Amino acid sequence: MSRTDLEGAAPPAPAPLRVGVLGAGMIATIGYGYLPHLGRIRDRVDMVAIANRGLEKGRAVANAHGIAHVVRSLDELLAFDVDAVVNLLPGPDHFAASMQILRSGRHLVSEKPITSTLAEADELLDTADRMGLLVVAAPADMLAAEWRRARDVVARGAIGKVAFARVQSSHAGAAGLSWPVDPTQFYQDGVGALLDLGVYGLTQATGVLGPARRVSALSGITVRQRRARGGPFDGLAIPVSAPDNNLLLVDFGDATFAVVDATFNVVASRSPRMEVFGLEGTLLVNREDVAAPPVEVYRLDAAPGLGGWITPQAYEIFPAPADRFAELARGVLIEHLADCIRDGVPPIASGRHARHVLEIMLAAQQSARDGRVIEIATTF
């Protein structure tokens, strides 16, 4: 018997979400970016137009990804009949463009970070609420199967009361990864390792453990000049003005803590992306390049009188849905917005979660400067 047999005839499919894209840079086109896999959901998402200051590059991206119209500016993009806009401009430009998108009556998908300041994030979300619009924000990690499973395992109490977690969100930095575009921006004030990489670990930590209450941090610049290694900018000298080495201690209340790294100094690692230690067990979220299940759990009672490692699996009448994050990469955020509009539900990858993570990062910067613990006011 099929799901349709049990639930009745399926309702007619809604009209595709009409989407415009602002920015044709690397995050739009790279394999883990927004556009490469959207062909799989063309029945649900209609990519109407893309805006890019460089019209020639915009045309190339549009041709490669089946986007009908190319324009230079956000004003021109908003002249099209679109329901939502994906803001892929550089981080410092997010707020002004996102506000213009919302004020035009369009839903918003924003690349990270959502804004540069907490006041900007507040204004953005207040505007969306006032106009009845949704804000979906990167990172998309909590839409991935492994992070949903980790959250559910902890929420169900499978490892008991959580004491602390270790979260790794670092790599060697763009200069050490044969970056295909000039990596200089990642090492300058306004970006840095915390805003570039810490956003992932903090999204994961709060997504699994819940909202944070306090943070303290140590930050510094490891070296004042980097050199690009490999790629078209091999050997480029890069001055470093933003901290490239950050360690955060996050307090979730009730004596539950997490250590999160955000550094451009991890050239290699085999450690899990996350380890969560509870009174009755341990949870691991493993790396994709490690020969291990995505999520593992050690339980004191894995068998009567015996502890051991297990791979958590849900027993359901119907198979679990496919891992859309794995299939669509960052494009899953666009599908997520379409789902939320169709179903009338708030996003998981929400603007409020992104604002909370932004506050933690800004508070961590203050903590490192002042040498004190900083309280966190927002939640999600």
Q: Give DSSP secondary structure letters for 281-319.
A: EEEEE--TTSSS-SEEEEEEEEETTEEEEE------SSP
- The secondary element (H helix, E strand) that includes residue 28 is helix 26-29
- Kind of pairing between the strands at 257-263 and 245-251: antiparallel
> Is residue 12's pLDDT more than 50?
yes
Q: Give the SS3 label for residue 59.
A: helix
- The span from the CA of 13 to the CA of 76, in Å, is 30
What distance in Å separates the CA atoms of residue 21 and residue 78, rounded to the nearest whole number? 10
**95, 88, 107: which is closest to 17 by C-alpha?**
107
- At the second CATH level, the architecture of 3-137 is 3-Layer(aba) Sandwich (3.40)
- Distance from C-alpha of 45 to C-alpha of 31, rounded to nearest angstrom: 19
Residue 118 has pLDDT above 60, yes or no: yes
The whole-angstrom separation of Cα 313 and Cα 295 is 10
**Per-residue pLDDT at 2 exceeds 50:** no
Fold exhibited by the domain 141-322+350-375 = Dihydrodipicolinate Reductase; domain 2 (3.30.360)
The pLDDT of residue 319? 59
Question: Of all helices (H) and strands (E), which one includes residue 206?
Answer: helix 199-209
Reported as a pLDDT band with limits 50, 70 and 90, residue 146 is very high
The owner of tokens 């805006």 is 51
**pLDDT, position 322:** 72
pLDDT of residue 3: 45
Q: Stretch 182-194: mean pLDDT, rounded? A: 95
Contact present, 22 and 16 (Cβ < 8 Å): no
Domain boundaries, the chain: 3-137, 141-322+350-375
**Arithmetic mean of pLDDT over the chain:** 94
| Complete DSSP assignment for 77-111 | HTTS--SEEEE-S-GGGHHHHHHHHHHTT-EEEEP
* Confidence class for position 4, pLDDT limits 50, 70, 90: very low
With a pLDDT cut of 70, the percent of the chain lying above it is: 95
For residue 290, the model assigns a pLDDT of: 87
pLDDT of residue 303: 84
Q: CA-to-CA distance for 197 and 14, rounded, in angstroms?
A: 36
pLDDT by residue (tens digit) across 259-298?
999 999 999 999 999 999 999 999 999 999 888 999 999 9
What is the predicted pLDDT for the residue at 318?
57
Q: Which residue from 289, 263, 284 is spatially nearest to 272, judged by alpha carbons?
A: 284
If pLDDT is split at 50, 70 and 90, which confidence band does 312 have? Answer: confident
What confidence tier does 30 reach under pLDDT thresholds 50, 70, 90?
Answer: very high
Q: In the predicted model, what is the mean pLDDT of residues 334-349?
A: 97
Tokens read off for 364: 């961590």
**Domain 3-137 shares a fold with domain 141-322+350-375:** no
Number of other CB atoms surrounding residue 358 within 10 Å? 24
Give 36-90 pLDDT, tens digit per residue. Answer: 999 999 999 999 999 999 999 999 999 999 999 999 999 999 999 999 999 999 9
Model confidence pLDDT, tens digit, residues 197-217: 999 999 999 999 999 999 999
Cis before 139? omega within 30: yes
